[in-house]
Amino acid sequence: MMWGCIDKFCYHCLAGIDEPAFHGPDTIAPGFREFRIAPRVAGDVTWARASIKTGRGTVASSWQLAADSLAVQVEIPVNSRATIAIPKVGRRAVSVSEQGVELVRNGEPTGSIAGLLGASENSEQVELRVGSGSYSFLLTGC
């Protein structure tokens, strides 16, 4: 059954790799030119990893939950952009860094790295807009 198997649950729900949006002429982004990665931490699951091959290259997402942090790694293919939605997993005051460079603290941008196009935060997640490349984000906080 197309799109109705355990594979989709693993890469879409747990690893958070969303398909490109096809919601009218203003938001169409075919071929993983623009997409979203929104990992979902659920129940007793403490890690997930998935990748899919696209016409632009491999899209990959993995995460690992620890007592004091959430580590998220993503791979964005060449000539693509993605929004990475890192869940705050119940934390209120959070900080997100990439390879030791703090990018966001308590909803305010604090730094920048190559490929970072923007950042925002709401009550549930920190969203980072990035260009192609490999990124290792670390969310910490209380």
Residue 28 lies in a domain: no
The residue among 1 and 117 whose pLDDT is bigger is 117
Please state the three-class secondary structure of 42-80 as a single string. CCCCCEEEEEEEECCEEEEEEEEECCCEEEEEEEEEEEE
Cα 107 to Cα 77: distance, rounded to the nearest angstrom: 27
Residue 69 lies in a domain: yes
Per-residue confidence band for 8, with pLDDT thresholds at 50, 70 and 90? confident
Which residues have a Cβ under 8 Å from the Cβ of 125 and sit 6 or more positions away?
A: 38, 85, 86, 87, 88
Query: The CATH number of the domain where 107 resides is what?
Result: 2.60.420.10
Helices and strands, counts by H and E, the chain: 1, 9
Per-residue confidence band for 7, with pLDDT thresholds at 50, 70 and 90? confident
Least confident stretch, 9-13, 45-49, 80-84: 9-13
pLDDT in tens, 88-117: 999 989 999 999 999 999 999 999 999 999
**Residues in a beta bridge with 69:** 140
Average pLDDT estimate for 126-142? 97
Residue 13 has a pLDDT of 87
Phi, psi for 56 (deg, rounded to 5): -95, -15
Per-residue confidence band for 120, with pLDDT thresholds at 50, 70 and 90? very high
H or E stretch including 36? strand 34-37
Count other C-beta atoms under 10 Å from residue 16's C-beta: 24
Residue 12 has a pLDDT of 84
Per-residue confidence band for 25, with pLDDT thresholds at 50, 70 and 90? low
Host domain of residue 69: 6-20+33-141
Residue 25 lies in a domain: no
Residue 56 lies in a domain: yes
Average pLDDT estimate for 60-87? 97
